DNA sequence: AATGAATGAGGATTCATTCAT
DNA sequence: CATGAATGAATCCTCATTCAT
């Protein structure tokens, strides 16, 4: 039972990701998700209270995947290398998950303001970036980085990546992802590093 | 007559901005916009073909306002100062237009993909950033800036600003807007500038 | 003025006939009629109280045309020849006015029941058929026709013509209009005529 | 389940017939039909894709009823008697279904041209009349009827009946239905029969 | 008289959610 | 637990008509 349950839930999340990615939040139909997941509509509601909660869970699942990848990539590295690794990992992740990426861009807006708190997406984002800012803090402590605000540094990086990927997908940037990444490292990392290093 | 028309259209856009900002695209009701604009529902449709087109026009209007401000701020300045001015202006603008800001974040996702092309929001964005990248190009030519890709630099800046403001509004950043701006300048500008300058 | 008025009214009726014929009552737009008639929407309302009244007037105008043709064709003829002439004229008329014909078929149904009385289309129809039944009465009196009810005879003929034309236009009848007419004469006229004649 | 479904569908058709007959297509409201059928509005859409399809189904159902009655009445009879039986049955049917009758008159026009094909009302009509024309054909073969076109004969009859009933209901004919029927038989049947028989 | 901008009532339809089986 | 039929609230947009100019 518990296994069967987990399988169903997984199937639902899988199907939901597919449908939300293809149709966007509003045009995704619950019955279509149920159909693809091979369960009844009612069963979705055993696991998720509402369409919005389902949506939020799809999102969370993806974000946690990114988080895990970034953590692994960063682990044990010196601040500078860690930041490079973060940039590389996040960039690659968005590239790999193009379908998901449009979903991510949409997240901020589709769900009614009130529900967003409930879903704690921004809570997750805060925690995730706090982790990253630790890297910057360490860099400052060890004298490799300038005395910039670590959080600002990290929000800058995160916003830059997001925007660059967005631009790349919209065809506004002709550079390869590799080149974009290198440029970003050049700009932001050397901006953070102490001069003369 | 033409005057009266313009007044109505203006009132509709004003009302729409208010309602869209408060409720988001989906929960904004046309009859509410009409009510606030002091016109009939039918009159909205004399000026805008659909709710989506109205929404898009509200957005465009705002973006053009930002564009105008940035252009003015940047005019006649040396690349470095121009970039600082851009950061300052954009940051202040988003601060002033908090209500609009959430709207801006929503843009990317709410409007159906098909209409987005029609409304050319991303076209506008491209053009706007192309203007900014000119500044970076000039800086590179004059030897003040490093040989980074100008577009990447500008998408980085734009994304950073957007993300920082988002974080600030979400309460993830305790720093004042002034401090955020200064940190951003420190990070990105010194990242772009040639070392040793 | 009076002349100009008449010209406008005529233009409106002309335009209305065109639009109603092409679009049917519901999909015909008043502004389209005004546009084609080269007058303002308001002007239509100087001549016709409502869309329905306009519609009814278009219809009446057509029907009066038919009536005039039939009267002329029938005039001075002996009953049998008169009835033949009626059949011929009505059939030809419907053929000529194919565009109008669909309009005629629609008449009965499109206008709300309540308004139909106001338009007196059926009043007109009654009067028209009463005229035709006079022919049959005369035929009975002169001993050429059997003692059938003249009205029934005439409603039969009228319904038959309408239905045959309908069938012809729907492609349910391959015969030429001429052949259809001859068959109808054979069937109904010999059915009315006294045997042995 | 299937039973309950059939009951609901039946109730909807019943309610729709009532409302359409009373109000006409346009003034019939879906919520009213749902209310009378004791189902939710949404349930109507489980069975019928649109208001127009519902309308068309009401119509079809009625026409099939007529067809069945006529077939039964005609079965095994000699051509002349069969035609009499047809006239009698159709006339009686329209009398009985006065409420439906106005609906039938409306059919031709209310439904959008495009949908009509989909609903095959005219296809049905063609098939129905083809069946009747078989009777005439048999009569011709057996030498009882004149060599008239069977289809023309049948369209004549059908149109005559429809028009006579229409006239009767509009109060244009004072004769009883029985008398009308007898007159029609006299006119059309003797028009079809070989003289001297 | 003519205009045509403004009005605003009105209803089909969708689909997330529920709950009887 | 699972099902999926039934629910019904909720809203954009149209266009005949009006009336100030």
Mean pLDDT, chain C, whole residue set:
85
Residue D135's nearest CA partner among D186, D177, D75, D93 is D75
Which one of A159, A188, A192 has the shortest CB-CB distance to B163? A159
Q: Give pLDDT, residue D107.
A: 43
Q: How far is CA B124 from CA A159, B111, B119, B130, in A?
A: 20, 15, 9, 10
A27-31, A59-63, A192-196: least confident range: A192-196
Distance set, CA D48 to CA C137, D8, D41, D75 (Å): 51, 12, 11, 34
Looking at residue D100, what DSSP letter applies?
Answer: H
**Max CA-CA distance within chain A?**
64
Q: Hey, how many other C-beta atoms are within 10 angstroms of the C-beta on A133?
A: 18
C57-CA/E7-C1' distance, Å: 27
Cβ of residue C113 closer than 8 Å to a chain D Cβ: yes
- The predicted model gives C4-28 an average pLDDT of 88
* Coil, strand or helix at D193: strand
Closest residue in chain D to residue C183, using alpha carbons only: D148
What's the pLDDT at D73? 96
CB of A123 within 8 Å of a chain B CB? The answer is: no
pLDDT-derived band at B179, boundaries 50, 70, 90: very high
Rounded Cα distance, D108 and C108, in Å: 9
With touching defined as 3+ CB pairs under 8 A, do chains D and C touch? yes
Straight-line distance from CA C18 to C1' F18, in Å? 26
Asked whether residue A169 carries a pLDDT value surpassing 90, the answer given is no
Q: What is the pLDDT of residue C103?
A: 58
Mean pLDDT of all residues in B70-80? 94
Selecting from D110, D164, D170 the residue whose C-beta is nearest the C-beta of C159 gives D164
D22 touches chain C (CB under 8 A): no
Alpha-carbon distance of D195 to D20, in angstroms, equals 46
Q: Chain B: residue nearest A21 by CA?
A: B109
Predicted local distance difference test score (pLDDT) of residue C2: 76
Of all nucleotides in the shown strands, which has a C1' nearest the CA of A30?
A: E16
Q: Do C149 and D183 touch (CB under 8 A)?
A: yes
Angle at C42 between CA C39 and CA C46, to 5 degrees: 95
Nearest nucleotide by C1' from A51 CA?
Answer: E16
Chain C neighbours among D 25-44 (CB < 8 Å)? 26-27
More confident residue, D59 or B16: B16
CA distances from A117 to A52, A123, A124, B23, B170 (A): 12, 8, 11, 16, 10
Q: Which two tokens stand for residue C38?
A: 């080269």
Q: What whole-number percentage of chain C has pLDDT above 70?
A: 86
Return d(Cα B129, Cα B153) in angstroms, integer: 10
How close A177 comes to chain B (CA, Å)?
11
Residue B90 C-alpha, separation from nearest chain A C-alpha, in angstroms: 15
Q: What is the pLDDT of residue B94?
A: 84
pLDDT in tens, C17-67: 999 888 878 888 999 999 999 999 999 999 999 998 898 888 888 888 989
CA of residue C162 to C1' of nucleotide E11, angstroms: 35
Contact by Cβ (8 Å): B131, B69: no
Q: What's the average model confidence in pLDDT over B52-60?
A: 86
Query: Is the CB of residue A16 inside 7 Å of nucleic acid strand E?
Result: no
**Can you name the residues that pair with C193 across neighbouring β-strands?**
C145
Please, which residues have CB within 8 angstroms of residue B52's CB and are 6 or more apart in sequence? Answer: B111, B112, B115
From the list A159, A179, A196, the residue facing B160 with the nearest CB is A159
Q: Where does the pLDDT of residue C137 fall: very low under 50, low under 70, confident under 90, or very high at 90 and above?
A: very high
Q: pTM of this prediction? A: 0.81
Is A152 touching B (CB cutoff 8 A)? Answer: yes
Q: Does B110 touch chain A (CB under 8 A)?
A: yes
Of B109, B126, B183, which is closest to A105 when you measure between CB atoms? B109
Q: How far is D1 from chain C (nearest CA, A)?
A: 39
Bigger pLDDT: D2 or B191?
Answer: B191
Reported as a pLDDT band with limits 50, 70 and 90, residue A109 is very low
pLDDT of A69 over the 60 cut: yes
pLDDT band (50, 70, 90) for residue A188: very high
Give the pLDDT mean for C91-114: 63
Backbone angles phi, psi at D31, to 5 degrees: -65, -30
- D152–C159: do the CB atoms touch at under 8 Å? no
Say whether pLDDT at B118 is over 70. Answer: no
Residues of A in contact with B140 (CB under 8 A): none
Taking the Cβ of residue A192 and every Cβ of chain B, the question of whether any pair is shorter than 8 Å is answered with: yes
- Could B164 and A155 be called an inter-chain contact, meaning their C-beta atoms sit closer than 8 Å? yes
Show which subunits contact A, needing at least 3 CB pairs below 8 angstroms.
B
Work out the burial of residue D180: count CB atoms within 10 Å of its CB; fewer than 13 is exposed, 13-18 middle, 19 or more buried: buried
The Å distance, CA of D155 to C1' of E20, is 53
Query: C117 or B114, which is more confident?
Result: C117
Q: Which residues pair with A193 in a beta bridge?
A: A145
Contacts of A24 in chain B (CB under 8 A): 109
* Closest Cα in chain A to B150: A183
Residue in chain A closest to B110 (alpha carbons) equals: A110
A192 or B135: which leads in pLDDT: B135
- How far apart are alpha carbons C31 and C40 in whole angstroms? 8
Using CA atoms, how far apart are residues A97 and A95, in angstroms rounded to an integer? 5
Q: Which nucleotide is nearest to D39 (CA to C1')?
A: F6
**pLDDT given at position B111:** 43
- Average pLDDT of the segment spanning C83-107: 78
CA atom of C39 to C1′ atom of E6, Å? 19
Number of Cβ within 10 Å of residue A167's Cβ equals 24
Confidence of residue B100 (pLDDT cuts 50, 70, 90): low
Which chain D residues are within 8 Å of C113, Cβ to Cβ?
A: 24, 102
**B6 vs chain A: nearest CA distance in angstroms?**
31
Residue C195: what pLDDT? 66
Residues of D in contact with C185 (CB under 8 A): none
A151:B172 CB<8 A:
yes
Query: Is B184–A152 a contact, with Cβ atoms under 8 angstroms apart?
Result: yes
CA separation for the pair D182, C146 (Å, rounded): 13
State phi, psi for B193 to the nearest 5 degrees: -65, 150
Chain D environment of C176 (Cβ under 8 Å)? none
Q: CB distance from B186 to chain A under 8 Å?
A: yes
Query: Which of D109, D115, D182 to mutate to test binding with chain C, by most C CBs within 10 Å of its CB?
Result: D109
Set of chain A residues whose Cβ sits within 8 Å of the Cβ of B180: 149, 152
Can you count the helices (H) and strands (E) in chain D? 11, 0
Find and give the residue nearest to E11, measured CA to C1'. D29
Task: State which residue has its Cα closest to the C1' atom of E21.
Answer: D1
The yes-or-no verdict on residue B102 having pLDDT over 70 is: no
Percent of chain A with pLDDT over 90: 53
Q: Are B14 and B37 in contact (CB under 8 A)?
A: yes
- Answer whether C113 sits within 8 Å of D102, measured CB to CB: yes
- Cα end-to-end distance, chain D, whole Å: 60
Query: Does the pLDDT value for residue B105 go beyond 60?
Result: no
The mean pLDDT of chain A is 85
CA distances C31 to B42, C7, C9, C28, C57, Å, are 15, 18, 15, 9, 18
Give how far the C-alpha of residue B153 lies from the chain's centroid of Cα atoms, to the nearest Å: 17
Would an 8 Å CB–CB cutoff place B159 in contact with chain A? yes
pLDDT at C142 (0 to 100): 93
Exposure string for A64-94, b = 16+ CB within 10 A, e = fewer: eebeebbeebbeeeebbebbbbbbbbbbebb
Which residues on neighbouring strands pair with residue C98, listed in sequence order? none
Mean pLDDT of B125-154: 92
Task: Kindly determine whether the C-beta of residue C6 is less than 7 Å away from any atom of nucleic acid strand E.
Answer: no
Positions in chain F where some atom is under 7 Å from a protein CB: 1-20
Q: State the pLDDT at residue A5.
A: 81
Mean pLDDT for back-to-back runs of 10 residues, chain D (197 residues): 81 93 84 94 93 87 90 94 94 81 52 48 81 94 93 94 85 91 92 70
């Amino acid at each position: 039972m518990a296994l069967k349950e987990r399988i169903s839930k997984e199937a639902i999340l899988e199907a939901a990701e597919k449908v939300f990615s293809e149709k966007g939040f509003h045009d995704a139909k619950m019955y279509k998700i149920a159909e693809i997941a091979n369960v009844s509509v009612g069963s979705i509601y055993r696991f998720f209270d509402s369409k919005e909660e389902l949506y939020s869970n799809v999102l969370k699942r993806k974000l946690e995947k990114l988080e895990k990848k970034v953590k692994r990539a960063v682990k044990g590295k010196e601040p500078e290398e860690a930041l490079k690794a973060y940039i590389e990992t996040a960039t690659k992740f968005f590239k790999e998950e193009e379908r998901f990426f449009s979903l991510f861009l949409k997240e901020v807006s589709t769900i009614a303001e009130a529900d967003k708190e409930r879903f704690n997406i921004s809570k997750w984002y805060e925690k995730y970036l706090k982790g990253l800012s630790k890297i910057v803090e360490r860099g400052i402590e060890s004298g490799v980085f300038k005395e910039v605000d670590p959080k600002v540094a990290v929000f800058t990086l995160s916003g830059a990546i997001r925007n660059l990927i967005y631009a790349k997908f919209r065809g506004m940037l002709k550079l390869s992802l590799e080149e974009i990444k290198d440029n970003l490292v050049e700009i932001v990392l050397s901006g953070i590093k102490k001069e003369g290093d």
